[in-house]
Chains A and B, each alone.
Chain A
Amino acid sequence: MSAPGTEIHAGAELLDVRDLTIGFPAGEGLLLAADRIDFQVAAGRTVGLVGESGCGKSVTLRSLLGLVPYPGEILAGEIRWLGEDLRGASKQRLAAVRGIEISMIFQDPTACLNPVFTVGDQLIETLRKRGGMGRDDARRRAVELLDRVGVPSPERRLRSYPHQLSGGMRQRVMIAIAISTRPKLLLADEPTTALDVTIQEQILSLLKAFQQENGMAIVLVSHDLGVISETCDEVVVMYAGRMLEAGVREAVMSSPRHPYTRGLIKAMPSLEISDEPPPAPIPGQPPNLADLPPGCPFQPRCELSRPECRSLPVTLDADLAGHGCACPFAEVAV
């Protein structure tokens, strides 16, 4: 541990991501899957990265643990974990952080669990290797953990193979493995996207409950503004690898500043039935990252678009705490 014996206070800054830029080679050039991403995560808080397919939210999340898929790489920026720059960290150091201080869960638990080992094997292995427990202690703890994440008859389930479990149960097992080392930070990449809505609700409230018990911080990636809004304290809205808006949840959701955020909120399918015509959808489609329009990437689809949008830089006018927006004309036009 980087700071052995140090108590992390609620609200203390754990992770500080500055100007994170991730590139992938594309033909002759380079495409930026994430361009100057900036956010901070404090103990006990949840930060949500939200955006549509290809906005760079997942690659940003993965890069935090050095998991940018080849041939992509981090080109610039800092990932400060408890003050230490993880970007420059050695393989050994990263391995010591991964799964112990920072854990990760994914959208598809089937792909992350080994199909030829039982749930018990995989959970107990983690506890012994990462938590340094003896066999009996690890087994006892494994049963506790499965019970804690809501797996019925946990003793028996230790002997189940992943394919014998439903999608929701597999995700619970993944969460049990991820939290088995009592990480300070959990990275969650679309953890409920593949699940039914009643199960999604159970999983999200499970994550919340853990957070309240252990003061764990969460970075949650989702395409679903509803999920983000119900779980997160701070929200970062991404589009084509850029941050377009960032702020505390209440501010972003109730008074969104960027035209893209406003459009997304309006586009959300709603349970309200009204006779009024639905709002006009955002026209067009997200740009190809290898062939971005100049200036603001959202400009070709934007209702407030003006000529200057093609030349001005896309930079937030305030940080996460100050509810930043990357559109200088958002308020002018309203």
Chain B
Amino acid sequence: MSAAEPLLAVSGLTKRFVDRHAVVDKLRRRPPATLTALDGVGFSLLPGETLGVVGESGSGKSTLARCIVRLHEPDAGSVMFEGTDMLSAAGAELRGLRRSIQMVFQDPYTSLNPRLRIGAAVAEPARVHGLIERGEEEDYATELLERVGIRPETVRRYPHEFSGGQRQRIAIARSLAVKPRLLIADEAVSALDVSIQAQLLSLLEQIRSDLGLTMIFIAHQLAVISRLADRVAIMYLGRIVETGATADVFANPRHPYTRALLEAHPRIDGTRVRKPAVRTETPSPYSIPSGCRFHTRCPLAEDVCSRVDPPAVEVPSLRGGHVSACHVLARAAEAHTPAAVGDVGG
């Protein structure tokens, strides 16, 4: 990887949710149940890069996004944005940092105020952050809405007058209103129909190249991120289990979970009778398995996997920075480059 300064550097990020109000636990005088959403997640992102974060329910991908912008306060770890510590920032400094990082959420029905005209909704963040004056809102909103393909004459309409895909465009316009450096899209196209999803992906691609945005694109489907992401991070139960250049990871997945995700993806030219890639279900994040957290479902699991947490190890790859945390597949790679790394990426 080049020596350029990363825009975002996350390391050792950990977030636990403690269920302090569970009555049964209190009555039985047990320690409260603890959900581990993030367990030592690290990566870094160069300016202009797009990182795809993929994982299934409970993998911690949304918590990761929320911890980066401090919608959740992480329990440990650090988030550095252009060298400034996000986690210790406060007041005006935090406001400035938050302006630079914007989010687009999955559900455009709940992320837009139903009683605010879309023009006002789009311009409001810019006015709050002092980028525009009162009175300039409508022109500013019109320009942004045109950029995302919403007709300017609809600027005075309300969100309910738009379809899901259009609302997501409006939400994107709103996130762009404060001229962010980093855009975090959390399942931003997951709820949309395929034809609309393809439109939104093209739009995000276009905006990214026009504005030189850095992006974190979160999805539960590998295929959705393949178009946008330069690099991909595969999450499982609060950890990044594999990361690398998207093309390397797709062509040569080095973690059994990544392989399972790739195999489980339904294809239209698919062979019809095949065995499911993994058995059983994802364990509860309230009780993460010992050793490798994937060993309960892993087709390659050995004795060591249930005892020892596998370190993240760099594996040989075309583009470099391909790291996987698997005892079994790492052994196969060891012959080439035995380079253990702490934080993934960097």
Contact = CB atoms under 8 A, between A and B. Distances in A.
A225 B195 CA distance: 12
Residues of A in contact with B, size category: 35 or more
- The number of chain B residues touching the other chain, given as a range, is 35 or more
Given A226-B270, A229-B266, A278-B202, A269 B226 contact: yes
Contacts of B280: 152
Contacts of B116: none
A12 interface: no
Interface stretch (B32-40, B92-100, B102-110, B257-265): B257-265
Given A271-B222, A271-B226, A278-B202, A223 B266 contact: no
A246 to B, nearest CB: 16
B194 A197 contact: no
A166 B286 CA distance: 13
B140 interface: no
A271 B250 contact: yes
Contact of A285 (B163, B264, B276): B163
Interface string B199-243: 101100000000000000000111110110000000000000000
Contacts of A230: 266-267, 270, 272
Interface stretch (A58-66, A103-111, A260-268): A260-268
7 contacts: A52-B196, A201-B263, A223-B193, A226-B265, A229-B268, A229-B270, A283-B199
B266 A205 contact: no
A202 interface: yes
Interface of A: 52-53, 152, 166-169, 196-202, 204-205, 208, 223-227, 229-231, 253-254, 263-273, 278, 280-283, 285-286
Contacts of A167: 57
B300 interface: no
Nearest to B224: A269
B120 interface: no
Contacts of A196: 56-57, 220, 282
Contact of B267 (A53, A199, A200, A226): A226
A205 B274 contact: yes
B262 A253 contact: no
B153 interface: no
B322 to A, nearest CB: 14
Nearest to A203: B276
Contacts of A201: 263-264, 266, 276-277
Contacts of B270: 226, 229-230
Contacts of B267: 226, 229-230, 271
Contacts of B136: none
A205 B276 contact: yes
Contacts of A198: 56, 260-261, 264, 276-278, 282, 297
Nearest to B257: A198
Contacts of A268: 194, 223, 268
Contacts of A283: 199
Nearest to A227: B266
A285 B165 contact: yes
Interface string B163-200: 11110000000000000000000000000011111110
A280 B260 CA distance: 30
Q: Could you say which of B195, B227, B263 has the most chain A C-beta atoms within 10 Å of its C-beta?
A: B195
